Amino acid sequence: MSDKHLLIVEDDGAFAKTLRRSFERRGYVVEIAADQGAVATALAERTPDFAVVDLKLGATSGLACVQAIHAHDATTRIVVLTGYASIATAVEAIKLGATNYLAKPSNTDDIEAAFGQTDGAAAGNVDAPLTNRPTSIKTLEWEHIHQTLAANNFNISETARQLGMHRRTLARKLEKQTVK
């Protein structure tokens, strides 16, 4: 029996199965949870050594799952995957207990490297490149919109109300934003 237990929290069944197969080939015992309720059930049965959590689970945020996993066992190595990357959500994920934060698409190699298995401890990269590129107004706007959206559990109507814009305007802005 493997000593590497992995919990994948992902609502996209096909992607979750692909990750499962890939990690099982690497010797992990993998369990999949599609929502916060399934995470609670999985944690009641077994404490994972590692977790991969999608930031957006249907209409809810995966940040609550990160918090629950970290509260259950602070030594669990948690990597958040998202197609909605922003500085605000990355900071919140780390504050709630995530070890690392990766933008989609990320493969098994990226995720395993983010777990930091080689050093056994969370460590930053002192050689990370520093950039002089100023943040654009559009990027700042997108980060503010996404932060407000996440705070409202991805409720478009409430987010639009808080931002003082029409719901359809917000929906158009969200559709135009490309995630790299």
* Domain coordinates in residue numbering, the chain: 5-115, 137-176
Q: Place 57 in a pLDDT band, splitting at 50, 70 and 90.
A: confident
Are the beta carbons of 43 and 16 closer than 8 angstroms?
Answer: no
CA angle 31, 25, 39 (to 5 degrees): 10
Q: Which CATH class for the 5-115 domain?
A: alpha beta
Structure tokens at 90: 């990355």
b (16+ CB within 10 A) / e for 130-153: eeeeeeeeeeeebbebbbbbbbbe
CATH topology of domain 137-176: Arc Repressor Mutant, subunit A (1.10.10)
Q: Is residue 78 packed enough to be buried (19+ CB in 10 Å), middle (13-18) or exposed (0-12)?
A: buried
- Predicted confidence (pLDDT) per residue in 65-108, tens digit: 999 999 999 999 999 988 776 777 888 888 999 989 888 778 88
